[in-house]
Structure 1
Amino acid sequence: MFRHILPISALLLGSALLVLAGGINTLILPVRGSHEGFSSFSLGLLGTGWAVGYIAGCLLTPKLVAKVGHIRAFGALCSLCAVAVLGSLILMSPWTWIPLRGLSGFCFAGTAMIVESWLGERATAANRGKVFGFYTMINLGATTAGQMMLTLGDTTGYLFFVVAAMVYSFALIPTAISSTTTPKPLVSVRLDIRGLWRNSPVAVVAVMMIGVSNSAFGTLAAVYADRIGLVLATIALFTSLPILAGAAAQIPVGALSDRMDRRKVLVGISVVAICADLAFVLLHPQDATTNLIIAAVLGAAIYAMYPVIVAHANDHAAPDSYIQTSGGLLLLYGVGGIVGPLVAGFGMTNLNVSALFMTTMLAHTLIIVFTLWRMTQRPEVAIADKVDFAMSPLARSSTPETAAFAKPDDEERPVTPELGQ
Structure 2
Amino acid sequence: MIQVFNASWALFLGMFMLMIGNGLQGTLLGLRGELEGFSTFELSVVMSAYFVGFLFSSRTTPLLIQRVGHVRVFAALGSTVSAVLILYPVLTEPWAWTIGRVIIGFCFCGVYITAESWLNDASSNETRGKALSIYLMVQMAGIVAAQYIITQGDVSGFVLFIIPSVFVSLAFAPILLSIRPTPAFEQAKSMTMRELVSASPLACVGMFLLGGIFSAQFGMGAVYGTQAGLSVSQVSLFVSVIYIAALVAQWPIGWLSDRIDRRILIILTTLVGGLGGLIAFIWTGNFAIILVSAALVGGTSNPLYALLIAYANDYLEKEDMAAAAGGLLLINGVGAIAGPLIVGWMMETIGAEGFWLFTASLMLGVAGYAAWRMIQRPRGELDLEAVSYVPVSAATTQVAAEIAQEVYIETEEEEAQANA
Distance 1:188 1:166 in 2: 35
Q: In the TM superposition, what is the alpha-carbon distance from 1:308 to its structure 2 partner?
A: 1.1
2:142 paired residue number: 142
Task: Find the counterpart in structure 2 of residue 344 from structure 1.
Answer: 343
The CA deviation at 1:25 is 0.9
Measure, in 2, the Cα distance between the counterparts of 1:329 and 1:357. 25
Amino acid of the structure 2 residue aligned with 1:363: L
Structure 1: distance between partners of 2:68 and 2:184: 13
1:166 alignment counterpart: 166
RMSD in angstroms over aligned alpha carbons? 1.9
**Superposition map of 1:300-311 within 5 A:** 300-311=299-310
Alignment of structure 1 residues 12-411 onto 2, 5 Å: 12-178=12-178, 180-187=180-187, 192-284=192-284, 286-380=285-379, 385-393=385-393, 395=394, 397-406=395-404, 407-408=406-407
Cα pair 2:70 2:181 within 8 Å, conserved: no
Q: Does the 8 A contact of 2:71 with 2:181 survive in 1?
A: no
Counterpart CA distance in 2 for 1:168 and 1:141 is 15
Distance in 2 between the 1:43 and 1:190 partners?
35
Shift in CA distance, 179/122, structure 1 to aligned 2, threshold 3 Å: closer
AA at the equivalent of 2:291: L
| 1:70-90 superposed Cα distances (whole Å, 9 cap, x missing partner) | 001000010111122122121
Cα 1:112/1:297, change in 2 over 3 Å: same
2:396 aligned partner, one-letter code: S
Distance 1:115 1:2, change over 3 A: same
Checking the alignment, whether the CA contact within 8 Å between 2:13 and 2:171 is kept in structure 1 is yes
Instruction: Give CA-to-partner distance per residue, 1:101-143, whole Å, 9 cap, x none.
Output: 1111111111111111111111111222222222221121111
**C-alpha contact (below 8 Å) 1:19/1:139 kept by paired residues:** yes
Tell me how far apart the structure 2 counterparts of residues 179 and 188 of structure 1 sit (CA, whole Å): 23
Q: Note the C-alpha offset of 1:288.
A: 2.6
Three-state SS of the structure 2 residue aligned to 1:90 is coil
The residue type paired with residue 318 of structure 1 is E
CA distance in 1, matches of 2:186, 2:46: 28
Partner letter of residue 89 of structure 2?
L
Displacement after TM superposition at 1:180 (Å) = 2.2
Answer yes or no: is the 8 Å Cα contact 1:59–1:188 preserved in 2: no
SS of 1:33's equivalent?
helix
One-letter code aligned to 1:405: I
Identify if the C-alpha distance between structure 1 residues 168 and 300 changes in structure 2 by more than 3 Å, giving closer, same or farther.
same
Q: Any idea what the Cα deviations from partners look like across 1:215-266, whole Å, max 9, x if unmatched?
A: 1122112111112222211110101111111221121222222222211111
The residue number in structure 1 matching 2:415 is: none
- 2:318–2:409 CA contact under 8 A, matched in 1: no
* Structure 1 residue 208: Cα displacement: 0.3
Letter in 2 for 1:403: A
1:139 counterpart letter in structure 2: Q
Name the CA distance, whole Å, in 2 between partners of 1:156 and 1:339.
29
The separation in 2 between residues aligned to 1:193 and 1:46, in whole angstroms, is 29
How far, CA to CA, are the matches of 2:179 and 2:215 in structure 1?
37
Tell me if structure 1 keeps the 8 A contact 2:136–2:391. Answer: no
User: Aligned partners of 1:392, 1:14: CA distance in 2, in Å?
Assistant: 19
Q: Which runs of 4+ in 1 moved over 4 A?
A: 188-191, 381-384
Give the 3 Å change call, closer, same or farther, for CA 368–132 of structure 1 in structure 2. Answer: closer
Name the CA distance, whole Å, in 2 between partners of 1:379 and 1:277: 29
8 Å contact 1:187–1:400 — kept in the other structure? no
Q: Which runs of 5+ in 2 are unaligned?
A: 411-420
1:253 maps to a residue whose letter is I
Partners of 2:89 and 2:402 in 1: CA distance: 36
- Contact between 1:210 and 1:333, CA under 8 Å: does it hold in 2? yes
Cα-to-partner distance string for 1:344-378 (whole Å, 9 max, x where unaligned) = 10121232111112222221232122222111111
Residue identity over aligned pairs, in percent, reads 31
Q: Compute the TM-score of the two structures, normalised by the length of structure 1.
A: 0.92
Q: State the alpha-carbon separation in 1 of the partners of residues 316 and 408 from structure 2.
A: 16
Higher relative contact order (CA 8 A, sep 6+): 1
Matched residues in 2 for 1:304 and 1:130: separation? 17
TM-score (normalizing by structure 2): 0.92
Structure 1, residues 146-187: CA drift from partner, whole Å, max 9, x if none?
Answer: 122101111110011111111111122223323525201254
Alpha-carbon contact 1:28-1:150 (below 8 Å) kept: yes
Q: In structure 2, do the counterparts of structure 1 residues 158 and 403 end up closer, same or farther at CA, with 3 Å as the change threshold?
A: same
The count of aligned residue pairs is: 408
- Residue type of the partner of 1:377? Q
2:4 is matched with which residue? 4
Alignment partner of 2:318: what SS?
A: coil
The change in CA–CA distance for 1:190 and 1:46 in structure 2 (over 3 A counts) is: farther
Code of the aligned partner of 1:342:
L
CA distance, structure 2, for counterparts of residue 159 and residue 385 of structure 1: 53
Q: Which amino acid aligns with 1:165?
A: S
Once the two structures are TM-superposed, the CA of residue 189 in structure 1 deviates from its matched residue by 6.6
Letter in 1 for 2:318: P
Q: Quote the Cα distance in structure 2 between the aligned partners of 1:247 and 1:54.
A: 22
